[in-house]
Amino acid sequence: MNIKQLHYFHELAKHRHFAKAAKACHITQPTLSASITALEKSVGTDLVVRTSQFVALTEAGELVRQYAERMLLEQEALKQELALFQGELSGTLRIGIVPQSNLDIMPFIARCKQRYPDIVIRLSVLSNEALLSQLELHQCDIGLGFDEPVGGAGRRAFHVYPQGANQMAVLMNRDEADLYPHSGDIALAELQQQPLVLP
């Protein structure tokens, strides 16, 4: 077993498709398949249920996926720590953003690139649900979204840094607007019966 095999296996578990995983790893599909087979031989059990294509991970495969993810994260952390000896931070910073969040991320990215030119920034536009999922799976390092759905154990899993209130406005035709007061805030509950198109 080696770190490259674990990387290939982790990509296969993520994409759940041999061709897509091979493309993500910049290798051919036969090379990926051979690496997964070699990994299975080294651990002495099947990790993938497959016919002519990927079907699912076995129970042992799911266990290996969890360990592989932690080991790959540790490897990346080690690379970043070692980069400090050369005086510059390097690596990849993965940022997920929900389009409706009112924070302008571009000045942050510009300052980060200016200060740390060796850091690669990957920006993904996601729904809030997908963002929380990717944070939990360590597929995003930072998320800019809404924290309202994060409660209980989920909230304890994240460090949440409030960035101010998200300003929203309701746009409607004049006939509908007459049903609401002309000053003050409108609670979302008051709009429950209205067909809404959200940004």
**One-character DSSP codes across 45-81:** S--EEESSSEEEE-HHHHHHHHHHHHHHHHHHHHHHH
Mean pLDDT across the chain: 81
Helix (H), strand (E) at residue 95: strand 91-97
Tell me the range of 5-9, 96-100, 161-165 where mean pLDDT is highest.
5-9
Band the pLDDT of 165: cuts 50, 70, 90: low
Query: Which position has the higher pLDDT, 131 or 198?
Result: 131
The pLDDT score that the predictor gives to residue 198 is 67
96 vs 173, more confident? 96
Query: For the chain, how many residues are written?
Result: 199
pLDDT of residue 156: 54
Lowest mean pLDDT among 3-17, 66-80, 156-170: 156-170
Q: Quick one: pLDDT at residue 153?
A: 52
Q: Which of 56-60, 87-91, 183-187 has the highest mean pLDDT?
A: 56-60
φ, ψ of residue 125 in degrees (nearest 5): -95, 120
pLDDT number for residue 144:
83
Does the pLDDT of residue 148 top 70, yes or no? no
Q: How confident is the model at residue 42 (pLDDT cuts 50, 70, 90)?
A: very high
Task: Mention every residue, 6+ apart, whose C-beta is less than 8 A from residue 65.
Answer: 9, 10, 13, 57
- 78, 85 contact by CB (below 8 A): no
Write down the pTM of the prediction: 0.51
Range list of H helices, 50-185: 59-83, 106-115, 128-136, 153-156, 174-177
